[in-house]
Amino acid sequence: MNALHFITGRDFPGWLADLSREREVLVPRRLDGDWTFAPPSGGEAPEGLSPYRAIESLKNFLFAGRETVARFPAPVSPAAHPRALVGLKACDLACLGVLDYIFLEGACADPFYRRAREETLLVSQDCSSFKEVCFCPLVGGQPHPLRGFDLNLTV
């Protein structure tokens, strides 16, 4: 079901605060000239959502750096970790098709990846600028997401 809703910049911090009551929220924040994902600071609006892709890969949020998958003699169930990633770009979301195919559709689906995907709210955002390393038009992409997101923000 597609729906169109409007939210003003003034209301955006409140929306993030409401969202953070149910899950960890990460938004793009400027760090040393690049954008990185971090929790929103003190109810203030982010410095405007990032005009182009943040430096972290979406993959970093779907796989733990270290995770206990079994304790002899039985496997461990994946832990719950609800999260919302706000400001993802179309190129971030493009990786999901490959990751889902490998980790969800094979004979040995990964329950930890499945749990992370199910509990991560993907809030995408259109690109409003580009960086010299951006490449979406070269691979047939667009500066706006077409699929793979739960909610899209247009500035």
Between CA 41 and CA 47 the distance in angstroms is 10
The Cα–Cα gap between 122 and 145 comes to 11
- What is the pLDDT at residue 86? 93
Alpha helix stretches (DSSP H) within 47-124: 59-62, 90-104, 111-119
- pLDDT of the residue at 3: 67
The pLDDT assigned to 74 comes to 82
What are the pLDDT digits (tens) for 51-99?
888 888 899 999 888 888 888 888 888 888 899 999 999 988 988 988 9
Please answer whether residues 124 and 54 qualify as being in contact, where contact means their C-beta atoms are separated by less than 8 angstroms: no
- When pLDDT is averaged across residues 10-34 and rounded to a whole number, the result is 89
Average pLDDT in the 10-29 region?
90
Q: Is the pLDDT of residue 101 over 90?
A: yes
CA 137, CA 142: separation in Å to the nearest integer? Answer: 6
121 vs 154, higher pLDDT: 121
